[in-house]
């Protein structure tokens, strides 16, 4: 596959937006566990890149704790990093292509995988709240060009507002005279924060309304008043840049309000009258992305399982391969079963989301919750199977275990996912 020009990418963005926005008007794609030829080709293409480019570099960039720009550029050159690839994955009417591609990439390495796919969350924020025109304008800028790739950041969490998005304190004030929004606040845990060309920022327009008073803004490249804060030294995902973002009287044009001011004013008016709304900006983004995040966790889990399986076949103790011991064999059987079960939940949620079927039982949260917890459990079992070797950095399962843990924390902790699911199935306002 070859990368498209910025002009072609913008055209692809417009076509993809039209296709997605009109998807509910078309017949739902049949759900099948047998992949199509196109799906298999893209799966194998991404897997080849993960195997030949990502995996050999994984340990180096984990140790360096730096953004692997050369690998991002390689991905851009072959068309894997860019909106044209994302649009192709998303255009699959079954909704499965995006999670399939993510699973394969993160099978190669999660830290590098997130450095490549981290921009997708900002793109999801633009898609979730923006207009088709805004999608066309901003998404190509999120990726840059194959010759000079860029990254984008989605900024929602704050030092005192993680799971509780209603506690967001970053403010947005409209200056009618200049038609500008003025942003002030501090964001935390932002993937690509500060190094991104495009930042998508969730801010409060009316604090009295809580999360219903939030809006999403694009902060364009080079905007004054936005600066990187402290870079986070993380337990895992160390090849992916994470940092605080400071907004100090950061002025952005009125056109950078995703969805436009007219829609915002209408939504705020409904909220002040006590009427329902479509949901606040941060949660709409997470709803779009949760099955994909679950697929990333699956990639880590599968990589650890496959490594442990091969190791168990080769490692000899007491005169025989350790896989011949029932305890090891049964553990590997459970690992495979849990991975396959999690994949079914991820695929179901991706399919439902793509055809516009409501998550009546919080199926999106189910998929992310199950996949994240499976990834942590499987990678821990892989370390146990390798014994002392598994605890050293000479073997990759140690890194996989560190990378997996974040999937029970970011984009909604396991506890928050259970809260979402329990509220959905009970109809009760469980606290």
Strands 171-175 and 242-253, sheet pairing: unpaired
C-beta of residue 74 within 8 angstroms of C-beta of residue 15: no
Cα distance between residue 348 and residue 368, in whole Å: 12
Q: Rounded to the nearest 5 degrees, what angle is found at the Cα of 118, between the Cα atoms of 339 and 64?
A: 90
Cα distance between residue 387 and residue 405, in whole Å: 20
Token readout for 227 is 């600066």
Rg of the chain over all Cα atoms, to the nearest angstrom: 22
Strands 214-219 and 198-204, sheet pairing: antiparallel
Residue 167, class by beta-carbon neighbours within 10 Å (0-12 exposed, 13-18 middle, 19+ buried)?
middle
147 is catalytic: no
- Name residue, tokens 């995996």: 55
- Name residue, tokens 């080079």: 222
C-beta of residue 143 within 8 angstroms of C-beta of residue 83: yes
C-beta of residue 269 within 8 angstroms of C-beta of residue 341: no
Cα distance between residue 159 and residue 188, in whole Å: 6
Token readout for 102 is 């993510």
Phi, psi (rounded to 5 degrees) for 110: -75, -40
C-beta of residue 155 within 8 angstroms of C-beta of residue 245: yes
Closest residue by Cα to residue 299 from 149, 421, 403, 381: 403
Q: What is the helix, strand, coil percentage profile of the chain, to 5?
A: 60, 15, 25
Residue 355, class by beta-carbon neighbours within 10 Å (0-12 exposed, 13-18 middle, 19+ buried)?
middle
Sequence-ordered list of residues with C-beta below 8 angstroms from that of 331, at least 6 positions apart, any chain = 381, 384, 385
- Name residue, tokens 């989605």: 154
The single residue of 287, 394, 411, 415 carrying the catalytic annotation is 411
Sequence-ordered list of residues with C-beta below 8 angstroms from that of 373, at least 6 positions apart, any chain = 408, 414
**Could you please report the per-residue DSSP string of 11-25?**
HHHHHHHHHHHTGGG
Residues marked as catalytic: 411
């Amino acid at each position: 596959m070859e990368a498209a020009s910025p002009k072609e990418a913008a055209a692809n963005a417009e076509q993809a937006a039209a296709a997605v926005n009109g998807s509910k008007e078309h017949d739902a794609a049949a759900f099948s566990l047998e992949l199509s030829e196109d799906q298999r080709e893209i799966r194998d293409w991404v897997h080849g890149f993960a195997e030949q480019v990502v995996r050999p570099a994984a340990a180096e960039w984990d140790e360096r704790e730096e953004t692997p720009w050369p690998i991002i550029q390689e991905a851009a050159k072959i068309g894997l990093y860019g909106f044209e690839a994302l649009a192709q994955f998303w255009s699959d009417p079954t909704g499965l292509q995006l999670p399939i591609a993510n699973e394969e990439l993160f099978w190669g390495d999660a830290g590098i995988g997130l450095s490549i796919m981290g921009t997708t969350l900002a793109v999801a924020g633009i898609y979730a709240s923006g207009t088709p025109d805004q999608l066309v304008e901003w998404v190509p800028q999120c990726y840059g060009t194959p010759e000079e790739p860029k990254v984008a950041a989605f900024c929602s969490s704050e030092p005192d507002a993680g799971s509780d998005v209603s506690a967001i304190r970053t403010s947005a004030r409209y200056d009618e005279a200049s038609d500008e929004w003025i942003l002030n606040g501090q964001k935390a845990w932002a993937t690509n924060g500060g190094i991104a060309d495009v930042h998508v920022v969730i801010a409060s327009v009316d604090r009295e309304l809580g999360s219903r008073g939030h809006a999403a803004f694009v902060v364009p490249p080079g905007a004054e008043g936005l600066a990187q804060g402290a870079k986070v030294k993380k337990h895992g995902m160390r090849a992916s840049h994470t940092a605080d973002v400071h907004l100090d009287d950061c002025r952005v044009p009125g056109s950078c309000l995703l969805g436009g001011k007219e829609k915002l004013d209408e939504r705020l008016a409904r909220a002040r009258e006590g009427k329902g709304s479509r949901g606040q900006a941060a949660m709409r983004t997470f709803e779009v992305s949760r099955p994909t995040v679950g697929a990333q966790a699956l990639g880590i889990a599968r990589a650890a399982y496959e490594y442990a399986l091969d190791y168990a076949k080769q490692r000899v103790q007491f005169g025989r391969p350790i896989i011949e011991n029932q305890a090891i064999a049964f553990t590997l059987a459970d690992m495979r079963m849990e991975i396959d079960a999690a994949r079914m939940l991820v695929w179901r949620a991706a399919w439902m989301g793509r055809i516009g079927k409501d998550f009546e039982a919080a199926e999106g949260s189910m998929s992310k919750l199950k996949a994240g917890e499976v990834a942590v459990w499987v990678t821990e079992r892989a370390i146990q199977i390798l014994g002392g070797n598994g605890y050293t950095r000479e073997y990759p399962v140690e890194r996989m275990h560190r990378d997996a843990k974040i999937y029970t924390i970011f984009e909604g902790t396991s506890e928050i996912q259970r809260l979402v699911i329990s509220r959905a199935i009970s109809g009760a306002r469980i606290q």
